[in-house]
Amino acid sequence: MLDAPAPVAADDSAGEEPGPFFALELPDEAPVVAFLGDSVCAGLHLAEDDAFPSVLQRRLHEEGLSFKLVSSCESGRTTAGGRSALSWVLRSEPDVLVVGLGANDGLRGIELAEVESNLRGILEGAREAGARVLLLGIRIPPNYGQYAEDFDALYPALAAEYDTAFVPFYMEGVGGVAEMNLPDGLHPTQAGQRALADNVQPGLEAVLRDLAAN
């Protein structure tokens, strides 16, 4: 979902060691799952444990699919910001990288070639580090015309090319749904964040089960 256009903030995590977000009693062998995203992933205006990555961590822990959560989600972040933050995120040696970026690019009309280049850089960097990727599909409003159509098509095309796990439009049922968003109309409520977790959970479960089997 979608942050109001604003300058991209610098990543203030630089120089700090990333680590698990919550002190659940996790098995030592639990895989590390890192989330690279924007203000929706960060749960802007909510408690941090209401954000969908934390909801997923608790849910899957209860189901016996524990993972150590690393969150690198920042308000206003574009794909360029995510690419810049990638080296910091990879210091946590994630087994899985969940990428939920691009909404801010799309709303600002950033050239699609630049968005594609940044996403490719993230996917290739994760691959080189040995991390599996779960790519979250992003769509922008149809009033952006041909740009919106081309933007929407980019994500499934990249997922297919890189043979990576993919969630088509992870904001389904939340984006543009008034009762699922705060009064700003942009950022999900607690219920909206739980709905995002519903959308992402099957994909993340599949990746974690495959990881455990191999």
Catalytic residues: 39, 184, 187
What is the maximal distance between C-alpha atoms in the chain?
A: 49
- 201 Cβ partners below 8 Å, 6+ apart? 56, 59, 60
Tell which residue, 169, 168, 195, 172, has the closest CA to residue 51.
Answer: 195
Structure tokens at 72: 């690198």
CA 104 to chain CA centroid, Å, is 13
Tell which residue, 44, 8, 21, has the closest CA to residue 190.
Answer: 44
Handedness of CA 30, 33, 203, 211 (dihedral sign): negative
Q: Which helix (H) or strand (E) holds 137?
A: none
